[in-house]
Structure 1
Amino acid sequence: MKLHLTQAAGSHLITGYDKGWVEVNHTRHEQSLIVLPAALLPGWQVSNFDQLAAGHFTELLALKPELILLGTGHQHRFLHPSISRELIAAGISIECMTTEAACRTYNILVAESRHVAAALIV
């Protein structure tokens, strides 16, 4: 699916997605990645949801987004509280949704000038 958003100039926007890839600013990524308005972290070392551990979010703790959208792949899944404990303690909310839903939601929040991160399992 191609997404079209003309606002939020200068930010990293998700411009498309489909099974096996996510496109950020018209560049296709076929591995999991983290996207923030001012940062793109390709090659996130998570290939599937069951692999997730608290350490996978350490880099995001340092960037201090107000919200993390976790794209869990094609199936909506929820994190075990032990994985998100440090994020919650730091005041960072995390919302789990399918990767497709996370892509759409990320662009909406960026257009609202929110400091959001999308951690996307591709």
Structure 2
Amino acid sequence: MPKGIEIRDAHFPGRAPIDAYGNGGFRFADMSHRGSLLCLPSGVHGWDLTEGEALTAESLARVLDEAGAIEVLLVGTGKEIRPLPQAVKAVLKARGIASDPMSTGAAVRTYNVMLAESRAVAAALIAV
């Protein structure tokens, strides 16, 4: 039996508003996380994407896995608004998900409002 520290993917099994963002991470549910996040119906997951990295359908695989429970995906693209690649928009649309790119700060605020309204929302938030 192996001993030592077990490294697991960061995951909070619930929906939680984002309390704060900045300094390369986020605070939610009395916890903090360094790096980017996917806020999905299945919970809040660590996301291995950094500002400036290309957004691909593969990087959103976890979002696509939960497509039936998501109507809107807010994409926090970092400090600046960056358009989503056409291929990514097409894959999301084919799964019935509307996508809305915006700065990460705007995406956090919009996500919190839509979550409070019990909307079928998810967020892909690149850390700033």
Please give the range of the TM-score, normalised by the shorter of the 2 chains.
0.7 to 0.9
In the TM superposition, what whole-angstrom CA distance separates every residue of 1:69-121 from its partner, at most 9, and x where no partner exists? 00000011111211221111111011000001111000100111012111000
> Which residue of 111, 115, 122 maps to 1:106?
111
Aligned to 1:6: none
Q: Which moved more, 1:54-63 or 1:11-20?
A: 11-20
- Structure 1 length as normaliser, TM-score? 0.84
Percent of pairs identical after alignment?
38
Whole-angstrom CA distance in 2 between matches of 1:37 and 1:109: 13
* Contact residue 16 and residue 26 of structure 1 kept, 8 A: no
1:36 aligns with 2:78: no
- Structure 2 length as normaliser, TM-score? 0.80
* SS of the residue 1:51 aligns to: coil
The one-letter code sitting in structure 2 at the alignment partner of 1:45 is D
Whole-angstrom CA distance in 2 between matches of 1:100 and 1:19: 12
Aligned to 2:49: 46
Whole-angstrom CA distance in 2 between matches of 1:40 and 1:58: 14
Counterpart mapping for 1:6-17 below 5 A:
11-17=15-21
Aligned length: 112
* SS of the residue 1:101 aligns to: helix
1:58 aligns with 2:58: no
**Which segments of structure 1 move beyond 6 Å, counting only runs of 4 or more?**
none
* Contact residue 75 and residue 100 of structure 2 kept, 8 A: yes
Whole-angstrom CA distance in 2 between matches of 1:30 and 1:14: 13
Structure 2, unaligned runs of 5 or more: 1-13
Residues 54 and 11 from structure 1, CA distance in 2 versus in 1: closer, same or farther, beyond 3 angstroms?
A: closer
Whole-angstrom CA distance in 1 between matches of 2:58 and 2:126: 15
Whole-angstrom CA distance in 1 between matches of 2:85 and 2:96: 17
Q: Which has the larger radius of gyration?
A: 2
